[in-house]
Amino acid sequence: MTASIIYEGELRCRATHLQSGTVVETDAPTDNRGKGEKFSPTDTLCVSLATCIITTMALKARDMNIELKDTKIDVTKYMLKDPRRVGQIDITIHFPPFSLGGDQKSTLETTGNNCPVAKSLHPDLKVNIEYNW
């Protein structure tokens, strides 16, 4: 088992990662009767994609003797109404200044575009990824 989740009431959940004991709490967003005081479940979907992209890229970069530390990622989520779901995720990745060749950038971008979370998403979900080198 990966996690144990408890519904705490008031549209909030507490998920505990069993291996590490790390806790993630969620709250329904304000546009869906929640307080919006924590990540919503759909926010965590978007964050999962972004962190998977950079983690997968960092694994490949490590093999290439490249360090991606201090890379910043901006994530924007767009919801659709009928049915209510995430319709689009925009991700902008800002890399720290360093010198890479075009082939290295291309390899890393291809790796990020094919991370496990990206490959697990429904094809109707529009994902835009911008790599700012």
Q: What is the pLDDT of residue 98?
A: 85
Q: Are 85 and 65 in contact (CB under 8 A)?
A: no
Reading the block at residue 18, the tokens are: 């069993």
The reply to whether 18 and 81 lie within a common domain is no
Domain with residue 117: its CATH number is 3.30.300.20
Residue 113's domain comprises: 40-132
Angle between helices 41-63 and 102-113 (to 10 degrees): 140
Residues ≥6 apart with Cβ < 8 Å to 53 = 73, 91, 93, 112, 113, 115, 117, 118, 129
Q: What is the pLDDT of residue 77?
A: 98
The reply to whether 48 and 34 lie within a common domain is no
The reply to whether 60 and 120 lie within a common domain is yes
Q: What is the pLDDT of residue 99?
A: 87
The reply to whether 33 and 92 lie within a common domain is no
62-121 pLDDT tens trace: 999 999 999 999 999 999 999 999 999 999 999 999 889 899 999 999 999 999 999 999
Residue 39: Cβ within 10 Å count: 16
CA dihedral sign of residues 70, 71, 76, 77: negative
The reply to whether 26 and 49 lie within a common domain is no
The reply to whether 71 and 20 lie within a common domain is no
The reply to whether 105 and 51 lie within a common domain is yes
> What mean pLDDT is reported for the chain?
97
- Closest by CA to 49, choosing from 120, 117, 123, 133, is 117
pTM for the whole thing? 0.95
- Closest by CA to 78, choosing from 70, 87, 69, is 87
Tally of domains within the chain? 2
- DSSP 8-state class, residue 98: -
Q: Beta 84-94 vs 126-132: how paired, if at all? A: parallel
The reply to whether 26 and 81 lie within a common domain is no
- The whole-angstrom separation of Cα 130 and Cα 25 is 29
